[in-house]
Structure 1
């Protein structure tokens, strides 16, 4: 249960963001927009990332397994982080707080802050940008579409998406820095043993 101060803060922010959310959410009236963002959201549930992680060792034989393991670890860290924050902060989703905002697809959980889809997408894209930059460029449009889908579908406020992007970026940076250091130590140890 959030503190009264947190509840008041989110209530005020919700009111500030309501008009923008409603304006963006109105694009759901166009069937192609709804269809596109429902597909993006569904892929952002994890399906695209699972396929990508599993294919990395095949596509990049030298570094693919290490990057796949790094992405798996960061994915787990992101899941724990956003679930704890949602449980602690308890911000209702826009379509719950404002019935004029339409829900374009069923949410995976009840609360809104931060956007877990955006958090994961930005984290994974950050890891790829630091390890396999050409692949990061390919997934960047999908990451941006995932972030946009959260507001378009009435599931998140823009601040949820921004917070998710920030947290995901930080987790991705920290994990890659730690992971790179660990991999260098492992490589140095193996080279020392072989020598």
Structure 2
């Protein structure tokens, strides 16, 4: 009788092994519940609440930060949809044996991680305007990025690419705002 195929043989790429291990970790009740909660906040709830708080309590700086975040969010959303349609990369739970989706996906394809893209771009902008938020936003952004892998919805490369795109979009928004005299 043949031995069953191991879920993460050493000849598989590191990203895939990481994906499998993180997803198994997410199958634990407490871990899965925590990352489902983080992911749900990353759907928009956290960012909308942050923009509302900055607008209400942040004075003119808060309003400017919110406008930059909202404009960047719209651009990020358009880019996200274009990249998803162009790459059409299947999600890990659809293409890798042993990976389970611990939550339903918001759309069909994996690349890039929209949650991570938004988290990185929004965190960069909000942190530039309000540096005291850096610890909170850094931790939350890292948790959102990790949640996408743990929940079986993205490969590590989806999250890394989205982080790079988010940095470019957030940094570009800050630079453009500064050039137009609207920024910091």
Instruction: Flag whether TM exceeds 0.5 (same fold).
Output: yes
Shift of 1:140: 1.3
Shift of 1:133: 1.1
For 1:153, the equivalent position in structure 2 comes to: 151
Structure 2 length-normalised TM: 0.89
5+ residue gaps, structure 1: 1-14, 186-195
For 1:129, the equivalent position in structure 2 comes to: 127
Q: Where in structure 1 do 4 or more consecutive aligned residues deviate above 6 Å?
A: none
Tell me whether 1:54 sits opposite 2:52 in the alignment.
yes
Residue 101 of structure 1 aligns to a residue in which SS? coil
Shift of 1:184: 4.4
Cα distance in 2 for partners of 1:57, 1:129 equals 15
Shift of 1:85: 0.4
Mapping of residues 148-187 of structure 1, within 5 Å = 148-184=146-182
Larger radius of gyration: 1
Q: Any idea what the Cα deviations from partners look like across 1:109-132, whole Å, max 9, x if unmatched?
A: 010011110000000111122221
Match of 2:69 among 59, 68, 71: 71
5+ residue gaps, structure 2: 1-11
Cα distance in 2 for partners of 1:64, 1:131 equals 8
Count of residues paired in the alignment: 171
Q: Any idea what the Cα deviations from partners look like across 1:146-174, whole Å, max 9, x if unmatched?
A: 00000000000000000000000010000
1:129/1:137 contact within 8 Å kept: no
Cα distance in 2 for partners of 1:174, 1:29 equals 38
Cα distance in 1 for partners of 2:69, 2:112 equals 20
Cα distance in 1 for partners of 2:181, 2:136 equals 25
For 1:28, the equivalent position in structure 2 comes to: 26
Name whichever of 98-107 and 30-39 sits farther off: 98-107
Match of 2:140 among 139, 142, 146: 142
Mapping of residues 104-123 of structure 1, within 5 Å = 104-123=102-121
